[in-house]
Structure 1
Amino acid sequence: MRLRGVRRSSNIEDRRGRGGGGIAIGGLGGVGVLLVLAIGYFTGIDVTPILEGSTQSSTQREITPQEEAAAEFSSQVLATTEEVWSEIFPREVGAPYEPPVLVLFSGTTSSPCGGASGATGPFYCPLDRKAYLDTQFFATLSQRLGAEGDFAAAYVIAHEVAHHVQDELGILDQVNSVRQRAGEAQANAITVRLELQADCLAGVWAHHVDGLLEPGDMAEALNAARMIGDDHLQRSAGRVPQPHTFTHGTSEQRESWFARGYESGSIGGCDTFNASSL
Structure 2
Amino acid sequence: MKWQGRRGSRNIEDRRSMSGGKAVGGIGGLGLIAVVVIGYFLGIDVTPLLEGAGGISPQTQSTQITAADEEAAQFVSVTLADTEEIWTGVFADQLNARYEPPILVLYKGVTQSPCGSASGATGPFYCPSDQKVYLDTDFFTTMSRTLGAKGDFAAAYVVAHEVAHHVQNELGILGQANAYRAQVSEDKSNAVSVMIELQADCYSGIWAKKADEAFGSIEHGDIREALNAAKQIGDDTLQKNAGRVPQPHTFTHGTSEQRQNWFATGYKTGDLASCDTFSADRL
TM-score, normalised relative to structure 2:
0.88
* Matching residue of 1:70: 72
Q: Where do residues 150-189 of structure 1 align in structure 2 (5 Å cutoff)?
A: 150-189=152-191
**Aligned 8 A contact 1:50 1:114 in 2:** no
- Distance change (3 Å), C-alpha of 1:19 and 1:142: farther
For structure 2, list consecutive stretches of 5 or more residues without a partner in the other structure.
23-38
- Distance change (3 Å), C-alpha of 1:44 and 1:109: farther
- Residue 46 (structure 1) aligned to one of 44, 47, 50: 44
Whether 2:127 is the aligned partner of 1:122: answer no
After TM superposition, give the deviation of residue 45 of structure 1 in Å. 4.8
* Matching residue of 1:3: 3
* Matching residue of 2:245: 240
Number of residue equivalences: 260
Whether 2:230 is the aligned partner of 1:225: answer yes
After TM superposition, give the deviation of residue 19 of structure 1 in Å. 4.7
After TM superposition, give the deviation of residue 4 of structure 1 in Å. 3.1
Cα distance between partner residues in 1 of 2:202 and 2:100:
20
CA distances 1:39-64 after superposition (whole Å, capped 9, x unpaired)? x99x9753121454164111102101
Cα distance between partner residues in 2 of 1:90 and 1:56:
43
**Aligned 8 A contact 2:63 2:108 in 1:** no
Q: Where do residues 262-277 of structure 1 align in structure 2 (5 Å cutoff)?
A: 262-277=267-282
CA distances 1:122-157 after superposition (whole Å, capped 9, x unpaired)? 000000000000011111110001000000000000
Cα distance between partner residues in 2 of 1:141 and 1:179:
29
* Matching residue of 2:207: 205
More moved, 156-165 vs 110-119: 110-119
**Aligned 8 A contact 2:107 2:135 in 1:** yes
After TM superposition, give the deviation of residue 197 of structure 1 in Å. 0.1
For structure 1, list consecutive stretches of 5 or more residues without a partner in the other structure.
23-39
Structure 2 letter corresponding to 1:166: Q
Cα distance between partner residues in 1 of 2:245 and 2:11:
41
Whether 2:104 is the aligned partner of 1:109: answer no
**Aligned 8 A contact 1:21 1:115 in 2:** no
Cα distance between partner residues in 2 of 1:244 and 1:117:
27
* Matching residue of 1:193: 195
Cα distance between partner residues in 1 of 2:20 and 2:5:
34
After TM superposition, give the deviation of residue 17 of structure 1 in Å. 2.8
Whether 2:250 is the aligned partner of 1:254: answer no
Structure 2 letter corresponding to 1:81: T
Give secondary structure in 2 for the equivalent of 1:103: strand
**Aligned 8 A contact 1:50 1:115 in 2:** no
**Aligned 8 A contact 1:152 1:220 in 2:** yes
After TM superposition, give the deviation of residue 238 of structure 1 in Å. 0.6
**Aligned 8 A contact 1:111 1:125 in 2:** yes
Cα distance between partner residues in 1 of 2:128 and 2:21:
20
* Matching residue of 1:28: none
Superposition RMSD in Å: 1.8
* Matching residue of 1:16: 16
* Matching residue of 1:96: 98
Cα distance between partner residues in 2 of 1:127 and 1:152:
27
Structure 2 letter corresponding to 1:127: S
CA distances 1:23-52 after superposition (whole Å, capped 9, x unpaired)? xxxxxxxxxxxxxxxxx99x9753121454
TM-score, normalised relative to structure 1:
0.90
Cα distance between partner residues in 1 of 2:198 and 2:19:
33
**Aligned 8 A contact 1:21 1:110 in 2:** no
Instruction: Report % sequence identity.
Output: 58
